[in-house]
C-alpha cells in the first residue's frame, strides 16, 4: 500500500497504469482504523483491478482540501490521473470491493 | 457451522458476552456486522470506563475488548446476520456470505445506530459536509460555520467538540426545551462560539458538491429561510437495530427488544438481548458490557440446564 504525499501525489496518480483507490485517513479516526486491515486484506485479490494508496490528512491537509474531503475515511478512485468516483465511511471488505467495482464499471 | 453461543454485534455488550461465554469453555462465535466496534468507534475519549484512570480512546477500547474476547477462543467473524430463525432448535442465523450458522443459544447485541434527518440533499451531501460524527470530521471545518441538529447530550457534546475547530456552531433544535443533561447544556450555553436556534427545523440541505447552507423552517410562524453553513452535524438520537428480529421477538413501540425485568431473557427461550438494542435509558459502554455479561451467564445456564 503506497503512502502518498503532497510532493509525489500527482506523479503517482498520473503514472499509475491501474486505477488507484486513495484512502484519505487520519490516525485519530476510529472508522479509518477499522478500514486499515480491510484494505490490506483485499489488496492481493484485486491486484489486477486496482491499486490502493493512502493519504494521511494530518500530514497532507492540502490534498484533503484540494479534493474537497470533508469526512474520513473518504475513498477516491483515480483513473488516468483524474477522479472517477468516491465514497465515504467504513464498509466491510465485500461491500468495499463492490463499491470500487461499481465505480470502475462507470 | 454449529456453535453453542452465537453473538450478534461487536460493541461493548457483544464483546463482553463473548469474553464470558468463551472463558466458560462454550463454543462461541461473534458476528461483527457492518459497524464493528459500534458507537464507540465514533467517539474520542471515553473518560468513564472503570479502570482506565486517564481515559481511553473509543476505538482503542474496542480493539482491546476484541483481543480479549479472542484470547479465550471466541471466533470473531466480519459477517452480518441477514435473517434469523430463533424458534427452531438449534437456532439458525443466515449470514451475509449466504451460509447458515446453527446456534444452541443466541445473544443479540446489535446496539443502536444514529438517526438521519431524512430531508432533501442530506444523503447526496453525506461526506461532503453532512456528518454524524463530529470527532471524525470536525477537523475539516477549521474556521468554518457549522450547524448541529439536536437537543440531547450528544448534540451538546458535538457542539462543544466542534468549537475546537469551527469559528461558530449553531445548535438547531425543534423545541424550546432540551433533553440534554444540565451539565452538558450549561457547558454549551456558556461557550461563546455556540449559539442556539430554537423551535426550528432543517427542511433541506443546500449545495451541489458540498454543503453551502440549510433551509430552516421557523416552527412558530412557519416561515423558512436559507442560511449559509459549511457543515451539518446530525445528532438527533438513535434507533435500535432490531428490524430482523421484530417478527419473532417482542419489541416496544420504538423497536427496542423487550426482556424480562432484571434479566436479558427475551420471549423466546435461549435467546438473550443485551446493550443498547434493549436499553434506551442509560446507553453507556459500561452498562452495555454489564448486560452482555449477564446474557452470557444466562446462556451458559440455559445450555447446561435447559432453563
- Alpha helix (H) residue ranges in chain B: 12-23, 58-71, 134-137, 153-162, 182-189, 285-305
Report pLDDT for B306. Answer: 65
Q: Which residues of A are catalytic?
A: 29, 32
Q: How crowded is residue B130: how many other Cβ atoms within 10 Å of its Cβ? A: 25
CA angle B295, B296, B300 (to 5 degrees): 115
Q: In Å, what is the CA distance from B46 to each residue of A100, B52, B56?
A: 34, 9, 5
Q: How crowded is residue B45: how many other Cβ atoms within 10 Å of its Cβ? A: 13
Whether residue A29 lies within 8 A of chain B, CB to CB, comes out as yes
pLDDT of residue A34 exceeding 80:
no
- Average pLDDT on B165-185 reads 95
Give the containing element (helix H, strand E) for A20. Answer: strand A20-25
Mutate to test the interface with A, among B46, B136, B144 (most CBs of A within 10 A): B136
Yes or no: domain B2-113+238-305 corresponds to CATH 3.30.420.40? no
C-alpha cell at B77: 467473524
- Nearest Cα of chain B lies from the Cα of A87 at a distance, in angstroms, of 8
- Average pLDDT on A77-92 reads 88
Beta bridge partners of B296: none
For B37-76, what is each residue's pLDDT tens digit?
888 876 667 888 999 999 888 878 988 999 999 999 999 9
Parse chain B into domains and list their residue ranges: 2-113+238-305, 130-234
Report pLDDT for A23. Answer: 96
- Nearest Cα of chain B lies from the Cα of A100 at a distance, in angstroms, of 17
Q: Where are the beta strands (DSSP E) in B207-244?
A: 213-218, 224-228, 231-234, 238-240
C-alpha cell at A34: 477499522
Q: Chain A partners of B97 at a C-beta cutoff of 8 Å?
A: 94
Provide the pLDDT confidence category of residue B195 given band limits of 50, 70 and 90.
very high
Residue of A28, A29, A92 with shortest CB distance to B34 = A92
C-alpha cell at B179: 433533553
Are the beta carbons of A92 and B210 separated by less than 8 Å? no
Q: In Å, what is the CA distance from B181 to each residue of B155, B156, B175, B188, B298?
A: 11, 9, 15, 11, 34
Q: What does the DSSP 8-state code read for residue B257?
A: B
Q: Which residues of B are catalytic?
A: 133, 136-137
For A4-28, what is each residue's pLDDT tens digit?
999 999 999 999 999 999 999 998 8
CATH architecture under which domain B130-234 falls: 3-Layer(bba) Sandwich (3.50)
Residue of chain B with shortest Cα separation from A68: B128
Q: Which domains does chain A have, with CATH numbers?
A: 2-105 (3.40.30.10)
Torsion of CA B184, B189, B194, B195, to 10 degrees: 130
Provide the pLDDT confidence category of residue B122 given band limits of 50, 70 and 90.
very high
C-alpha cell at B258: 423487550
pLDDT of residue B307 exceeding 60:
no
For B134-171, what is each residue's pLDDT tens digit?
877 888 999 999 999 999 988 999 999 999 999 999 99
- Nearest Cα of chain B lies from the Cα of A92 at a distance, in angstroms, of 6
Give the containing element (helix H, strand E) for A30. Answer: helix A30-42
C-alpha cell at B97: 456470505
Amino acid at each position: 500500500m503506497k503512502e502518498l504525499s503532497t510532493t509525489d501525489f500527482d506523479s503517482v496518480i498520473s503514472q499509475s497504469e491501474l486505477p488507484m483507490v486513495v484512502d484519505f485517513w487520519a490516525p485519530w479516526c476510529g472508522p479509518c482504523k477499522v478500514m486499515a486491515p480491510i484494505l490490506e486484506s483485499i489488496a492481493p485479490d484485486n491486484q489486477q483491478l486496482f491499486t490502493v494508496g493512502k493519504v494521511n490528512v494530518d500530514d497532507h491537509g492540502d490534498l484533503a482540501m484540494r479534493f474537497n474531503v470533508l469526512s474520513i475515511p473518504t475513498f477516491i478512485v483515480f483513473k488516468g490521473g483524474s477522479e472517477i468516483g468516491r465514497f465515504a465511511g467504513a464498509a466491510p471488505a465485500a461491500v468495499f470491493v463492490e463499491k470500487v467495482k461499481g465505480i470502475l464499471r462507470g | 457451522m454449529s456453535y453453542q453461543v452465537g453473538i450478534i454485534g461487536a460493541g461493548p455488550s457483544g464483546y463482553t458476552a463473548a469474553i464470558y461465554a468463551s472463558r466458560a469453555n462454550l463454543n462461541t462465535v461473534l458476528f461483527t456486522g457492518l459497524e464493528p466496534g459500534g458507537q464507540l468507534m465514533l467517539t474520542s475519549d471515553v473518560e468513564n470506563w472503570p479502570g482506565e484512570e486517564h481515559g481511553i480512546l473509543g476505538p482503542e477500547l474496542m480493539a482491546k475488548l476484541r483481543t480479549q474476547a479472542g484470547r479465550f477462543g471466541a471466533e470473531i467473524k466480519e459477517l452480518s446476520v441477514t435473517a434469523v430463525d430463533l424458534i427452531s432448535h438449534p437456532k439458525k442465523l443466515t449470514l451475509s456470505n449466504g451460509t447458515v450458522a446453527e446456534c444452541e443459544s443466541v445473544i443479540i447485541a446489535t446496539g443502536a445506530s444514529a438517526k438521519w434527518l431524512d430531508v432533501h440533499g442530506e444523503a447526496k451531501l453525506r461526506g461532503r459536509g453532512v456528518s454524524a460524527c463530529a470527532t471524525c470530521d470536525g477537523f475539516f471545518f477549521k474556521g468554518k460555520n457549522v450547524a448541529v441538529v439536536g437537543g440531547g447530550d450528544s448534540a451538546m457534546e458535538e457542539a462543544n467538540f466542534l468549537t475546537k475547530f469551527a469559528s461558530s456552531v449553531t445548535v438547531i433544535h425543534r423545541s424550546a426545551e432540551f433533553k440534554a443533561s444540565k451539565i452538558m447544556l450549561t457547558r454549551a450555553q456558556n461557550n461563546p462560539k455556540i449559539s442556539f436556534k430554537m423551535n426550528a427545523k432543517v427542511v433541506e440541505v443546500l449545495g451541489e458538491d458540498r454543503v453551502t447552507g440549510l433551509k430552516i423552517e421557523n416552527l412558530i410562524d412557519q416561515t423558512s429561510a436559507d442560511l449559509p453553513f459549511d457543515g451539518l452535524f446530525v445528532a438527533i438520537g438513535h434507533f435500535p437495530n432490531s428490524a430482523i428480529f421484530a417478527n419473532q421477538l417482542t419489541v416496544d413501540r420504538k423497536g427496542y427488544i423487550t426482556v424480562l425485568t432484571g434479566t436479558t431473557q427475551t420471549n423466546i427461550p435461549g435467546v438473550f438481548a443485551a446493550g443498547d438494542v434493549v436499553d434506551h435509558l442509560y446507553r453507556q459502554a459500561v452498562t452495555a458490557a454489564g448486560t452482555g455479561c449477564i446474557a452470557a451467564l444466562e446462556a451458559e445456564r440455559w445450555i447446561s440446564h435447559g432453563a
